[in-house]
Amino acid sequence: MSYVLGIDGGGSKTVCVLIDDSCQVLGRGETGPSNYQSIGIEGTLQSIKSAIHNAVEAAIITNTVNIDAICLGLAGVGRAADIELVKGLVKELQNNKLPINWALQPANIIICNDALIALVGGIGQPVGIVVAAGTGSIVFGRNHQGHTKRVGGWGYILGDEGSAYKIVIAGMNAALKSYDGREISTSLLEDFKQHLDLDSIEDLIEVVYRREWGVKQIAALAPIVDFAAASGDIVANLIIDDAVKELVKATSTVIDAIFTADSVLKVVTTGSVWRGRCKIHERFAASLVKKFPNVNVIFPRYEPAYGAGLLALQTTQN
């Protein structure tokens, strides 16, 4: 029997699934990060190799595992130079001693960004839109003709509107403006103080600047704003409303670019932002459906690695 591999490689973890020709997951492996722009190509190779090994081991298959296709959906891969670099990585994988028999042809190797596999995994097919809002944000769509459109994904300095990071920055900014007396009072002032164990909100300077907090550490505070909004804080709710507006605008741009206004399509939402208590998912869905009545906003059916596996499997059936 032949099998395919689906790989989801990101900045925090790498997931590999081993799938048979009936779309069944036989094994799943998970290891550390595989964003080569952060950890280098050698570190990426080792993470992917370990994830594959763990997936095959978990499958408990007695016969030789023949891999006919592979799809790697990796964070940060979009340019032609990135794809060529990852092609070299796939060659290295085939030279490593893994418990599998490689039977790959060029047409059965897919290298793409992680937005595409999130779309396919989330919907179960390669047509629709994914709205990813976690630490960062990006909206990606693909239509029946194979045309794609990406909006956002420019990083925390140049973009990422609607992301957890931008929500927290807006929340901190509002708390400090409230402290200054420049804006109306908000519970966010006390919420940040209590959560971070600060004597004064002025100590936020030491936390953010002197401790050199990174994007992920700041984004992890998004539940503070979410909880304040869910509790009825006016300022926090305005911040959430702004995030919704940005995400709706980005999604609308994708629809206008590659679909028609009356298209029947699914929009899958992925990322930590959508799991909040303040009903941001419901707000987003209501606003988007108001503009595009035939859109169905859903949560993911499957994980991105499975989406990569489905894309790999497609190449064996053409």
Provide the token pair at 311: 């894309």
Q: 187, 185, 186, 207: which is closest to 196 by C-alpha?
A: 207
Provide the token pair at 306: 């499975």
pTM exceeds 0.85 = yes
Taking only Cα atoms into account, the Rg of the chain, rounded to an integer number of angstroms, comes to 21
Residue-by-residue DSSP string for 29-49 = EEES---HHHHHHHHHHHHHH
Phi, psi of 6, deg, nearest 5: -120, 125
- State yes or no: pLDDT of 203 exceeds 70: yes
* 278-289 exposure pattern, b = at least 16 Cβ within 10 A, e = fewer: bebbebbbebbe
pLDDT recorded at residue 91: 87
- Mean pLDDT of all residues belonging to the chain: 91
- State yes or no: pLDDT of 69 exceeds 90: yes
pLDDT top residue among 38 and 91: 91
For residue range 205-232, list pLDDT tens digits in order: 988 888 888 888 999 999 999 999 999 9
Which amino acid is located at 118 in the chain? A
For residue range 30-48, list pLDDT tens digits in order: 998 888 777 888 888 899 9
The pLDDT > 70 percentage for the chain reads 99
pLDDT recorded at residue 318: 66
Residue-by-residue DSSP string for 119-147 = HHHHHSSS-EEEEEESSSEEEEEE-TTS-
CA atoms within 13 A on the CB side of 76: 18
pLDDT recorded at residue 213: 86
Provide the token pair at 47: 């993470």
pLDDT recorded at residue 34: 85
- Residue 170: which pLDDT band, with cuts at 50, 70 and 90? very high
For residue range 110-161, list pLDDT tens digits in order: 999 889 999 999 999 999 999 999 988 999 999 999 999 999 988 888 989 9
- Residue 11: which pLDDT band, with cuts at 50, 70 and 90? confident
- State yes or no: pLDDT of 92 exceeds 90: no
Q: Provide the edge-to-edge strand list for the sheet that holds 137-142.
A: 148-152, 137-142, 128-133, 265-270, 295-298
pLDDT recorded at residue 188: 96
